[in-house]
Chains A and B, each alone.
Chain A
Amino acid sequence: MPVVDRQEWDVVVVGAGGAGLRAAIEARERGARTAVICKSLFGKAHTVMAEGGIAAAMGNANEHDTWQVHFRDTMRGGKFLNQWRMAELHAQEAPDRVWELETWGALFDRTKDGRISQRNFGGHEYPRLAHVGDRTGLELIRTLQQKIVALQQEDHRETGDYESRLKVFQECTVTRILKTGPDGGSATEDRVGGVFAYDRETGRFFVLEAPAVVLATGGIGKSFKVTSNSWEYTGDGHALALLAGAPLLNMEFVQFHPTGMVWPPSVKGILVTESVRGDGGVLRDSGGRRFMFDYVPDVFKEKYAESEEEADRWYEDPDHNRRPPELLPRDEVARAINAEVKAGRGSPHGGVFLDVSTRMPAEVIRRRLPSMYHQFKELADVDITAEAMEVGPTCHYVMGGIAVESDTAAARGVPGLFAAGEVAGGMHGSNRLGGNSLSDLLVFGRRAGGHAAGYALDPARRRPQVAESQVNAASAEALRPFSAETEGEAGPPENPYTIHQELQQTMNDLVGIIRREGEMEQALHRLAELRVRARRAGVEGHRQFNPGWHLALDLRNMLLVSECVARAALERTESRGGHTREDHPAMDRAWRNVNLLCTLAGPAAALAAGDPARGQIRLTRETTDPIRPDLLALFEKEELVKYLAEEELYE
């Protein structure tokens, strides 16, 4: 086994999207030597795809907006399954996180009096999303990236080295979180010791030893066929946490964004931002009817317009009219589109029509939605100022994730492990509101970075020791795909691309937007088969920038995460937010306070050795903490009745 290079850091952040970079900035500012590892180039993270904006109750557009209103919207959107403490912290801290970005050079769109302009979005009672045209995610990433460069310049002035206190390892992938085992530190310790990673460019392995690791790897969308997510979204952080012994929370909740492009096939899944609807775009069936009026669920009846006239008035006069049903939370809209297509009223390529062309002058469309105009023109050759877009649901976001402590973002059960952003679970409950992801990244990225630094720098704790045997095991696991042919197992080597495609098809068809018990059982069987075959996934060539090898390694993560989604979805016999069961179509108040936790069934090391056909995930139920009374008091009793069980109400 070759000697693997080791470096010592205080905090290692895995992922360089919004949450990862915010965590790194915080950790470095609190004095921790911080390393960031990301699979892409620095500044290319999937956060750049976020278009709509950052939700924060700054009250610039409507002075009635406060954190309490934001909290309420978030809980409603999540169907009261949210970790309420996270939703509370999020709503309280989001404005500060946005304002802070301005002090780092961000340039948001402005109001007439020079404040940050805020726009309407689905599920938000007031215009709340700080934005920059429809490229808010890019602005966020660039601002954080430039702040990191600013900190590096500071370090350079002091130490002569840009990377002395904050370094970005770009195009590197972490395959294991290393722990201080019984043979490492003291016999009783079982905490984080660092990460094992490889450099994608050279294929070289290396170890970053650190007492604290922040996971900020984003989502799992690449397990689904139609997705808005990039190749990076292979559920790495979810799998790393599982393998390190941390539980995942409520993995059944996967958000299908209602409006992804459906044509041409090569762009299928790419997002059409919700601001198209926030700015006046409407959904129509093949007959030109605005069908969303038929799909307003009872819990939202009072909040949404009943006629087209009232809905249209709302854009000009939101105080005296109710909002159009196109702006219902994403899960509702996605289900409605799905139902329309199923009923045979869809567009030629299996979506519905999203129309702005008849609602705004071409010039206004080009000004307000420049990158959408650009995207359809360049990618689909459709002029959205002249014709309607064809859209349909696309896998967009996973609400489930690593179970964390609300205040500290510390992963449960693994000291030294933290998680923030999409990879962390709980904040969004069963369904995330648009705009809440960017604010989530900032609020909990900062918290995770701060607490990780505090943990790592605690003088009472000695630096962790990582045993050579762990490193060797991790290298062997990473090298497996190169020797798949020679191992003489049953069957020929498999093409990792084929396995990946079959996995995506399975998840899309059997654990997709509408779920049925039988299909999910079938999915679990297929996943077991795929796991067997994935062990034989072999690759050609060498370790230098070899995408086949990278995919073969990512398959482990996608298979683990997919099993979590399928098992949890099978278990939850109700429909709520991002989890819709055809056989249990109603929301069940009894499930309101039930969390489903996924943990690894066997010891992590046994993953490679055990019988791959046996499930790898064990599921447990957990009752959530009751919502704090002062927070419950923010809601009307009549509303709470719809969500909370009797005994919760009268406690």
Chain B
Amino acid sequence: MSSYEARFKVWRGDVRGGGLEDFSVEVNDGEVVLDIVHRLQATQAPDLAVRWNCKAGKCGSCSAEINGRPRLMCMTRMSVFDRADTITVTPLRGFPVVRDLVTDVGFNYQKAREVPAFVPPAGLGPGEYRMMQEDVDRSQEFRKCIECFLCQDTCHVVRDHEENKTAFAGPRFLMRVAELDMHPLDAAAGTGVDRARAAQDEHGLGYCNITKCCTEVCPEGIRITDNALIPLKERAVDRKYDPLVWLGSKIRRRTP
């Protein structure tokens, strides 16, 4: 077991201002960045604000930016850094800061409310649902999401353009739309909700330019862009931009 002193720069402050503060702190074998932040709290900065919970990469609370990259602090092992490196930890830069490493992620909860919920199929009671594994695989991948909001943070559509936040739901919630659209028993269509069309018209799918940063930062390894966003774009094309599909559906509707 070996330990060493690491140099850290941690952003401290609140909405009124702040800056990077230097720390020198002990690091032991096998530790992750969150351990170091906790050690800072216990020994040098008891009021250092940080959000965390499970410390096992399952709850998605301890999102921050480490050396400029959006990551979970609990899943960033210290061994990936050179011992001589200075490690910079800042709050997520895509959201308003609350204090130190804690940001206001309310944007995400607001967007969650804008996606129409799962609509249960009429005529099927509890216990009568039958779904095949191959039909639920796709949505299950998206349901692995731990809502760490790293994708929402890194997506340049809103990270670099605050004004887009009203029009754009962000990768996490576009993926939620895809999840529901691919759910084998979702009956939203029967209630007049066209999820793929809504993705384009109401949730801002068109803003996505598929540059894949959401996929790059996802700690769960969900292939957000390839499996959710692009398929959703293709489904939106079916509804809005493809005259052949439009014609086909017209003809099919006429001959039931």
A–B proximity contact (CB within 8 A): yes
Q: B-contacting residues of A (Cβ < 8 Å)?
A: 40-46, 48-49, 58, 95-96, 99-100, 102-105, 107, 109-110, 113-115, 132-133, 135, 138-139, 142, 146-147, 149-150, 152-153, 156, 162, 201, 230-232, 263-267, 270-271, 371, 374-375, 378-381, 495-498, 539-542, 544-549
Could you list 7 A-B pairs, sorted by A, with CB under 8 Å? Answer: A48-B59, A96-B127, A105-B183, A135-B144, A162-B113, A496-B46, A546-B47
- Kindly state the separation between the CA atoms of A139 and B179 in the bound complex, as whole angstroms: 13
Q: Is the CB of B118 within 8 A of A495?
A: no
The listed residue (A153, A378, A540, A547) touching B113 by CB distance below 8 A is A153
The listed residue (A49, A110, A495) touching B56 by CB distance below 8 A is A49
Q: Is the CB of A44 within 8 A of B56?
A: no
Q: Is the CB of B57 within 8 A of A149?
A: no
- List 13 extra interface pairs beyond A110-B131, A149-B112, A544-B49, CB under 8 A: A44-B61, A48-B58, A100-B126, A105-B180, A109-B140, A146-B117, A152-B113, A153-B116, A153-B117, A271-B56, A378-B75, A379-B75, A546-B49
- Kindly state the separation between the CA atoms of A109 and B51 in the bound complex, as whole angstroms: 32
Residue of A at shortest CB range from B57? Answer: A378
Q: Which residues of B contact A149 (CB under 8 A)?
A: 112-113, 117
B122-156 interface mask toward A, CB cutoff 8 Å, 1 = contact, 0 = none?
00001101111100100110011111000000000
- Kindly state the separation between the CA atoms of A622 and B28 in the bound complex, as whole angstroms: 49
Residue of B at shortest CB range from A380? Answer: B30
Interface residues of B in 62-82 (CB under 8 A from A): 75, 77, 79
A115-B130 contact given A107-B143, A547-B46, A548-B41, CB 8 Å threshold = yes
Q: Is the CB of B127 within 8 A of A99?
A: yes
Number of interface residues of B (CB under 8 A): 58
Q: Which residues of B contact A133 (CB under 8 A)?
A: 140
Q: Is the CB of B129 within 8 A of A103?
A: yes
Q: Is the CB of A231 within 8 A of B46?
A: no
Within the complex, the shortest CB–CB distance from A118 to chain B, in Å, comes to 13
Most buried by B among A44, A99, A113, A544: A44
Q: Which residues of B contact A42 (CB under 8 A)?
A: 109
Whether B99 sits at the interface, judged by CB under 8 Å, is yes
Q: Is the CB of B143 within 8 A of A230?
A: no
State the 6 A-B residue pairs at the shortest beta-carbon distance, nearest first.
A264-B30, A105-B118, A541-B47, A150-B117, A114-B130, A99-B126
- Kindly state the separation between the CA atoms of A488 and B187 in the bound complex, as whole angstroms: 67
The listed residue (A41, A104, A374) touching B51 by CB distance below 8 A is A41
- Kindly state the separation between the CA atoms of A104 and B56 in the bound complex, as whole angstroms: 27
Whether B230 sits at the interface, judged by CB under 8 Å, is no
Q: Is the CB of B98 within 8 A of A201?
A: yes
- Kindly state the separation between the CA atoms of A244 and B136 in the bound complex, as whole angstroms: 46
Whether B208 sits at the interface, judged by CB under 8 Å, is no
Whether B178 sits at the interface, judged by CB under 8 Å, is no
Q: Which residues of B contact A232 (CB under 8 A)?
A: 53
Residue of B at shortest CB range from A543? Answer: B47
A540-B46 contact given A48-B59, A48-B146, A49-B58, CB 8 Å threshold = yes
Q: Is the CB of B58 within 8 A of A231?
A: no
- Kindly state the separation between the CA atoms of A413 and B43 in the bound complex, as whole angstroms: 43
Within the complex, the shortest CB–CB distance from B154 to chain A, in Å, comes to 19
Q: Which residues of A contact B54 (CB under 8 A)?
A: 44, 46, 48-49, 230
- Kindly state the separation between the CA atoms of A540 and B35 in the bound complex, as whole angstroms: 21
Q: Is the CB of B35 within 8 A of A266?
A: yes
Most buried by A among B79, B98, B105: B98
Q: Is the CB of B56 within 8 A of A267?
A: yes
Whether B55 sits at the interface, judged by CB under 8 Å, is yes
Within the complex, the shortest CB–CB distance from B174 to chain A, in Å, comes to 16
Most buried by A among B41, B49, B139, B145: B49
Whether B60 sits at the interface, judged by CB under 8 Å, is yes
- Kindly state the separation between the CA atoms of A156 and B113 in the bound complex, as whole angstroms: 10
Q: Which residues of A contact B49 (CB under 8 A)?
A: 544-547
